[in-house]
Each structure stands twice: as structure tokens, then as C-alpha cells.
Structure 1
Amino acid sequence: MTGAVVAVSGCLSGSENDDPKSDTTNPGGDGVFTNIFVDGTELVLEFTDEASIDQVNVIDPDGELFAERSISTGVGRETIEIGTGYQPGEYDVVALEDDTEQTTQSILIEPDVQITDLRLGRNHPDEMFEGASEREIETEAILTLENTGSGPDEVRRLIFSGDVPRPTPDGFDESGIADTDSDINRYADTVELTAGDETTIYSQQMPFYSVDPNISCSSDTTEGEFQVILETVVQEGSPSETYTVTYTGENLIECDIDIEVAS
């Protein structure tokens, strides 16, 4: 369900570029690292040919040991799984030889998940997932998500609130996201977004279902506003977007629904 994995280099102490999300291949000539970056859900460490170390410790933003690895002589690359259960923030990578620190480099690992587009299936039927039913096309939404940060994350819940016919009910504990890999209607567990990743998801809770009219549709046009909220595993705060919406027609079944991002 996710898009292609993109390797994103973090900011290394001593580099010429201070942007923590910029690509970096020179750690400042410390003689140990040539690069430190996040690839998918792994932290990747690359060493110089001259590196003389036997251990690497990774320290989390709270100053606690996150991971440690023994490094054999001549190893040019080491990977450390960070998954999607980590604390976002700046991590220190400490290289040691005989328990003596040789150098420390820092990397910012944090996601930045955003909703970049939302369309209604009823207005874009050709963009719905393969096998979508007529009811799903009429009632569900298509969302594009992007992670512009420097670390992976998972979306575990999709919420609609405000002026939609069927807002997400209180106490709804499913993800609300369609599992497009399943042959039967079911919810996805989570949707993974690695750094630099973009993906399309589909709602599976019928927010524009005409049988549950939380909003009316009239020939004089009914105007409203609704919010789409993502609950994520790592990112602090819930990514969200607000949309203005108009309903024009005699009833919700035959209603013309137009949406755009609220200014």
C-alpha cells in the first residue's frame, strides 16, 4: 500500500549544510563515518576505510542508549533497525575504540506526515481502487499522504469530523482505512510511510453515505466545513487538514459535492 522506499540522509555534525533533512555524504572528515542516513525503517552507518573502531552506540533524544553494535575490522557498513516505535528527535551516533570515544555525529530522525490531496470517489470513480463497489465509489474518499520528514511512521487511524453526512463515530476503534490487498471489505491495520514516501489510501467508513444525513443537500447549496485527521504512531500531534464543502441538489443521493482546502 505504501510507495517506494526513499533513502534520506540526515544532518551529520560538522557538515557544511546545517539543514537536518538535507542529503549529506561528508561527515566533516572525522576519519570514521562517510555517511549516516535513514533508509526505510533502518539507520544506516557507513564507515571510512581508515576507521579504527570496535563499537558504535546510538543515543536517543533523552540521552538513553537506543542501540549498540560491535564493529569488526574492515566493516564498511552497519544497519540498525529503528522501526516505527521510536522517539522522534536528534540521535547521537558515538564511535568507540577500546571504550574510548573517537567521534560523535548527530542525526535528526522524525517524520512529517501530511495530507496533500483529498478527492471524493463519486467525483473520481476511475481513481478508486480496483474492485471498489458502487457504494464505495459513492461514499468513500481518496487521500494522498506524504512523509516529508527524516524518519518513518505509521498511520493507524483516519477520522472525519464536521460537515460530512457521516462523521467518524465516537468510539470507532478501527483504522477506517481500506485494505486494498484484501478480497473482502476490511480495514487495514496500519499504513507505513517511510521518509520521502508518498502513498494513496482510501477511506473505509462511508463519510459521504446518504443514508446517514448529518448534513442536508439543497438546491440553494448548503455550505460547510469538515476536518480530516490522521492518528500516527510516531509523529507528535495528529496531522490534519480542513476542507470547505458545498452540497447542491435535491437530496444527498443525487447531490453534487465539491470540496477544496480551506484557506
Structure 2
Amino acid sequence: LNGSGEAIDGTTTANDDSDGQGVLNRVAVEGTSLVVELGSEAEVDQVNLIQPNGELFGRREVAAGVRQVSFEIGTAYNPGEYRVLAVQGEDTVDETSLDIRPELEIVDVGLFRNNPDKPWDEVYGESETDTKKNGEAFVTVANTGSGPEAVVELRFENDVPNPSENPRGSGIHNSDAVVIPPGDEIDLFSSSFPFGAEIGEEGMGCSITGNDGQFKITLEVRTTTQNVESDFNVQYSGSDAMHDCRIEITEK
């Protein structure tokens, strides 16, 4: 079996026969699909995809002249090693394997007042007061793994003005789930108003002399059972009101 490798565009390739003479010329995850390219001289009736548990994930018949088939794996698949079998008649004429496994990482978080170049108006709409934009945040998430993943909930916990351990909906603006293909980096925009006006006694607000705290961002995901978490230090200073507050966020 050929070993898997990471392509420049972020797709994960198990088999890459550059001269095109092999049977399984190229096998790669592209977006939420597994794409299988057959060699120019390949004689194959069907291509089978086997799950990590050994069961058949899917089968694709290969008509005469067809050189590419694909399997939609989505984001509800079981992570692990998948086997691709090229079959002619009763015989497996070629086989390769590919580890399909997402790996999400929170790489940045920021606010409108500190990151005005993000598409805030496009996301939240234009406003004379900027109240909505000032209270929301973006979270940049990278998928450094080899399979797609979907974020289904975004939470801000602990020392933010409006913590959301159980946000209404997904906590992601205008979306129930955001798919992040392997190799991609995407900005998620919040909908729970985490840095808006202080609400209740649980949140931390601003003060002229300064308030220091820590908050946690949690991503609930679909493919893997392990939530993605990251902790940050935060300082609120310069005002008693959140809309005038100086907010500094650093990695913990």
C-alpha cells in the first residue's frame, strides 16, 4: 500500500501515481467527498470503499471510459483508516488505504473594535450604532486533519459579559452547522452576543480601572465526539460601559 501524504491544497492523498499507468491513480479527500481517479489503462468494473470497522461504505460501478468516481462521506462518517478496492470481475486488482480524520484547532478570536477589516457589515448588516457588531466575535478555526468536520455549536464561557453555556440555537450566526474541509481555515461569527452589554451576575463587564479574567471557547462538533476547546486571557478597561470598553484578548 502507498502511504498517505498531505497535498499542497490541503486535500489528503493516499495514492498518487503521477504517470497515470496504475489502476488506482489517485485517491484523495476533496471537500466532503472521497475522489478516486483511475489510471488510463485501468480495467475495473467497480470501486469499493471499506469503512474502518471493515464494513462496506459504498460501491461505485465503473462504466467503460469512466476514469473518476467519488463517494460523499459528509461529516457523519466514522474517522479512521478507509480502504479503497479496485475490482475486476471477482478479483481485487488494486488496493490502497487512507486515514480520514478531522483535526480542528482554534487559531484566533477577535472583536470588531480590534479587527475592523473582517466582513462585519456583510455578516451582521450595517448599523449607525454598531451595537450588534461590538457585541459579537469571530473565531478562526483551522482543520489540519485529513477529513471534513462540522461545527454545530459555538460557546463562550466564564469571564465574558454574556457567557453562553447553552446558547440559543447553534451560537453561530445564521447557521446550524458549518462544514470545514481538510486544509481549510474558516471564520465563525457568533450569534450569542458574548461581548455585548453585561447581562446577569455571571458575566464580567468593563471598568475604568480594569477587570482581568479568562474565558473559554468551546466548539461542539459532529464527526468526532471530542469537543474543541481553547482558553484565553482577557482584560476589560477604560470605561464602565461595554460599547466604550478597551478589550485585550491574549492566548492563555
Name which structure has the greater RCO, CA cutoff 8 Å, separation 6+.
1
CA distance in 1, matches of 2:54, 2:68: 24
Q: Which amino acid aligns with 1:232?
A: V
* Higher deviation after alignment, 119-128 or 79-88: 119-128
Q: 1:210 to 1:77 in 2, by over 3 A?
A: same
- Secondary structure of the 2:105 match is strand
DSSP-derived class of the 1:129 partner: helix
Please give the per-residue CA displacement for 1:133-182, whole angstroms capped at 9, x wherever unaligned. Answer: 41112211022222222221211110011111111043x35111112xxx
Q: CA deviation at 1:81?
A: 1.2
- Aligned mates of 1:194, 1:152 — CA distance in 2: 4
- Partners of 2:37 and 2:92 lie apart in 1 by 17
| Match among 121, 133, 144 for residue 129 of structure 1 | 121
Equivalent residue letter for 1:204: S
Alpha-carbon distance in structure 2 between the residues aligned to 1:142 and 1:216: 19
Aligned partner of 1:97 in structure 2 is 88
CA contact (8 A) 1:112 1:148 kept: yes
> Does the Cα contact within 8 Å between 1:20 and 1:107 map onto a contact in 2?
no
Give yes or no for contact 2:82–2:100 (8 Å, CA) kept in 1.
yes
Residue 251 of structure 2 corresponds to residue 261 of structure 1: yes
Contact 1:248 1:255 in 2 (8 A): yes
1:202 aligns with 2:189: yes
* Deviations 1:212-237 (CA, angstroms, capped at 9, x unpaired): 16114333322111111111111341
1:176 aligns with 171
Bigger drift between 51-60 and 72-81 goes to: 72-81
Structure 1 counterpart of 2:198? 211
Q: Residue 208 of structure 2 aligns to which amino acid in structure 1? A: S
Q: How many pairs align? A: 239
Counterparts of 1:21-60 in structure 2 under 5 Å? 23=13, 25-26=16-17, 31-60=22-51
Shift of 1:211: 3.3
Over the aligned positions, Cα root-mean-square deviation in angstroms equals 2.3
Q: Is the 8 A contact 1:147 1:196 kept in 2?
A: yes
Whole-angstrom CA distance in 1 between matches of 2:65 and 2:154: 47
1:77 corresponds, among 49, 56, 68, to 68
What is the identity percentage for the equivalent residue pairs of Structure 1 and Structure 2?
A: 36
Deviations 1:10-47 (A, max 9, x none): xxx225xx546765522999931111001111111111
**TM-score normalised per structure 1:** 0.82
1:159 aligned partner, one-letter code: R
Question: Which structure 1 segments of 5+ residues have no match?
Answer: 1-12, 180-187
Taking the aligned partners of 2:117 and 2:57, their CA distance within structure 1 comes to 46
> What is the identity, as a one-letter code, of the residue corresponding to 2:245?
C
| Structure 1 pair 173–208 and aligned structure 2 pair: CA distance change class (3 A) | closer
